[in-house]
């Protein structure tokens, strides 16, 4: 079986577990007043799980495959791919998750975006800093002010 089908099989298992959780266990803890709403907190996870299952089944059945193309992943030549970059991005994600509370949202997110673009090969510092700053401030403003969810903007040491 090809690598893409193995990945689809693993993702199918994840989607099935996610779907089971969304359909059968998330709604039990809802208060009665929430059960009268048209959209429940589990609505989006239900849609995600169904779409994920359908897409995994499409990949497993091979419907999307036409002929073998030059850009397809060959699992026998994995050593030729940029696995170092992928592992560096994963390490950066873990560091971001660990630093989010202590460094604050603005510093951790800007650092993640700048570090990620460096790993992926961007070398224009002004563009990286400008894009990371605008994106970070925009997301913080939307989450903090529009949605009303508190995100610690500055490092924990500063006491904000």
Q: Which of 63, 80, 97 is the last residue of a domain?
A: 80
Domain count, the chain: 2
pTM for the model stands at 0.56
* Tokens describing residue 7: 């990945």
Do residues 136 and 71 share a domain?
no
Tens of pLDDT, residue by residue, the chain (160 residues): 577 788 888 999 999 998 888 888 877 777 777 777 777 777 888 899 999 999 998 888 877 665 555 556 666 676 777 788 889 999 999 999 998 888 888 899 999 999 999 998 888 899 999 999 999 999 989 888 887 778 777 776 676 5
* Judgement on whether residues 70 and 133 belong to the same structural domain of the protein: no
> What sign does the dihedral 138-142-145-151 (CA atoms) show?
negative
């Amino acid at each position: 079986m090809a690598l893409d089908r193995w990945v689809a099989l693993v993702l199918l298992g994840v989607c099935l577990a996610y779907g089971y959780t969304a359909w059968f266990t998330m709604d039990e803890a809802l208060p009665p007043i929430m059960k009268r709403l048209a959209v429940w907190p589990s609505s989006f996870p239900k849609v995600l799980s169904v779409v994920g299952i359908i897409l995994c089944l499409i990949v497993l059945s091979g419907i999307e495959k036409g002929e073998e193309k030059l850009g397809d992943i060959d699992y026998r030549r994995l050593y030729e791919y940029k696995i170092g970059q992928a592992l560096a991005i994963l390490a950066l994600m873990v560091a971001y998750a660990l630093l989010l509370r202590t460094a604050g949202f603005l510093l951790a997110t800007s650092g993640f975006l700048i570090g990620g673009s460096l790993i992926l090969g961007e070398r224009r510092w002004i563009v990286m800093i400008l894009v990371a700053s605008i994106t970070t401030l925009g997301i913080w403003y939307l989450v903090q002010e529009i949605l009303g969810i508190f995100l610690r903007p500055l490092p924990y040491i500063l006491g904000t």
